Each structure stands twice: as C-alpha cells, then as structure tokens.
Amino acid sequence: MSIWFEPVSFDMIEKLQQGIDGRGTLMTTLNISITAINENSLTATMPAGPAIHQPFGLVHGGANLALAETVASYAANFAVDQRQYYCVGQEINANHLKASRTGLLTAITTPIHLGKRSSVWEILIHNNAEQLCCISRMTAAVVKR
C-alpha cells in the first residue's frame, strides 16, 4: 500500500522544482533530480563534483544535507493532503561516513513515522559504488494551511 496521499508524477515534481516564480530552486542550483517514486520511498540524485566540494576537494557535508532534506521534504509533502497541509523541515541531522569526490550521489528516503503533526524520514546516500556515504534523519512539521 502506498504512503502517498495521491498519485505522484514526475510532471508534478518538475513543476515544483521550478518554484513559484519559475526561476528554479536549490534543486536546480545543485542539479538534484527526483529519479524514482516507489510505494514507500522516494529517490533523488545529485552529481558530485567541484560545484559542491569543500576546499579539500570532497563533497561538502552541507551538500549532502541539501540532498537529504530535498528528497525527504518532497516525500513528506506527498504523504499529506496538500490542499489542507504542507510540510517543512523542522530538524535534520547527518553522519558523513565516506567521502565522495565525483560520480553520482543517490539518496533514498523512507518514513520512520507518519503522524498528524510531524513525520520522520530516514535518508541513505550512496555513491556510484553503492557505498553508504551519509545517513540522515529529518523531522518535518505538518502545518495546516
């Protein structure tokens, strides 16, 4: 059984990525793409390279967190009736386990808790070799419109 309130499509995701003014969002800036929609998970990718490196040539931890919060925020919003509610990140944490320099980072988020006022999401980020690079957890507040 799907956790999504209503069917989620890539067209819907593309419209959201363009933002209110149509100029794009942080997803556009960091080249983050939602690549898979499953019954209980959402997957996003982000290229690893100089644009998201810290000074020592490794992917910046903040870039991992941006990827994690993006995929979890999308998932949190898709899991609620968006006519009545919207979700915003309330807390996020991460453990950076393996450094990355190049390739494609893949983040998969699944729910830990889906409640009336909050949801909690686990995000696992892997590199091209399918090695776990970062594990994150995000709490989203469910806000009444």
Whole-angstrom distance, CA of residue 93 vs CA of residue 138: 7
| H/E stretch holding 16 | helix 10-18
Is 69 designated active site? yes
Which residue in the list 6, 14, 39, 69 is annotated as catalytic?
69
User: Which residues fall within 8 angstroms of residue 130, CB to CB, at 6 or more apart?
Assistant: none
Q: Are strands 85-96 and 118-126 parallel, antiparallel or unpaired?
A: unpaired
Active site residues: 69
